[in-house]
Amino acid sequence: MPLPVGHSLAGLGLLQLTGLRFFQHRWQDAFFFVFAANLADLDYLPGFLLGNPNLYHQGMSHSLAAALFFGVFCALFFSRKHGGNFTAYATICALVYASHMLLDVFNNDLRAPYGVPLFWPLTEERFISPHWLFASVHKSSESAQFFQSVLSAHNFFVALREVVVMAPVLAVAMLLAKKRRRAGA
């Protein structure tokens, strides 16, 4: 898994590409996109409570089915709130959630099970790119040491690499958004 740094930048990039409104303020939209891009990693929680955060990590929450479910769930809420645009809301919300798996596929995964079960529940097969963009995060398998282990010098450089990889993606998305606003003005 990349750190929340990489996932959050991917979420913010996708926010630039949509003209849809979600909440009253743009910062709330940004918070929602960052949350959605990191949501799949909430699967650390049950294992964390049982003493091993990695126990259920990269399971069914890391599937396209979960992204689709999230997209439809959000679209029901936002299309009712703003009137219409169900498909547009479902698509962008599913895409933000799915961006998480895209980044995870390009992670240097050093811990079994390797990769993500993209097509769960149709198949348990896991997918991972042979070429990685994001370095492996060092993290403890014990809940008591988990947060301490994540805050390491190694992971600082992992985060820096994620910024180097994802910042240009965000910059391109911002440029495209600017172009679209100009064209619409």
Q: Which stretch binds Zn ion (CB under 5 A): 25-33, 37-45, 118-126, 160-168?
A: 37-45
Which residue in the shown chain puts its C-beta closest to Zn ion? Answer: 1
* Pick 41 or 162: Cβ nearer Zn ion: 41
Alpha carbons 36 and 92: distance in angstroms, whole number? 11
Shortest reach from residue 41's CB to Zn ion, in Å: 4
Q: Which stretch binds Zn ion (CB under 5 A): 21-29, 101-109, 125-133, 157-165?
A: 101-109
Alpha carbons 64 and 68: distance in angstroms, whole number? 6
* Pick 34 or 40: Cβ nearer Zn ion: 40
Under rule CB under 5 A, residue 14 binds Zn ion: no
Under rule CB under 5 A, residue 43 binds Zn ion: no
* Pick 78 or 159: Cβ nearer Zn ion: 159
Cα angle: 163, vertex 167, 168; to 5 degrees: 135
Q: Which stretch binds Zn ion (CB under 5 A): 40-48, 69-77, 80-88, 123-131?
A: 40-48
Shortest reach from residue 137's CB to Zn ion, in Å: 10
Alpha carbons 89 and 39: distance in angstroms, whole number? 17
Under rule CB under 5 A, residue 162 binds Zn ion: no
Contact criterion met (CB below 8 Å) for 36 and 28: no
Q: Letter for the amino acid at 85? A: N
User: Which one among 104, 158, 162, 165 touches Zn ion, defined by CB under 5 A?
Assistant: 104
Alpha carbons 62 and 55: distance in angstroms, whole number? 14
* 80's tokens: 């009712």
* 159's tokens: 């985060």
* 129's tokens: 């790119």
* Pick 89 or 165: Cβ nearer Zn ion: 165
DSSP at 50: T
* Pick 89 or 116: Cβ nearer Zn ion: 116
Under rule CB under 5 A, residue 37 binds Zn ion: no
* 112's tokens: 């079994």
